[in-house]
Amino acid sequence: SSQWTTTSGNTITYTTGNVLISKQLSITNTAEASATTTAAVTISGGLGVSKSMVVGSSLNVGGVCTLLLKNLRKITQFFAKNN
């Protein structure tokens, strides 16, 4: 039997193991995020990012936000410009 299944509404489900993508993944859905369950990409679990991340617009945090400050001067300049 196939590990990939489709359901109505164009949902594709993979039920065995991990999906590993070694090239760039491009998602063309441009939906604005209005909640944790409505956006172009939604993730039920945590998200780990091992390299840099760029946010092009707003960043909303619904819980605790911990910043590990490696460059305090840049952070200070950011808050000075945005407050």
For the CA atoms of 36, 41, 47, 48, what is the dihedral angle to 10 degrees?
-150
pLDDT (tens digit per residue) in 1-26: 457 777 767 777 887 888 888 999 99
pLDDT (tens digit per residue) in 48-60: 999 988 888 888 8
Residue 69 has what pLDDT? Answer: 67
CA gap 7, 60 in Å, rounded: 32
Q: What is the DSSP string of 3-48?
A: SEEEETTTEEEE-SS-----S-------PPPSBTTBSSS--SS---
- Indicate the pTM of the whole model: 0.60
Residue 28 has what pLDDT? Answer: 93
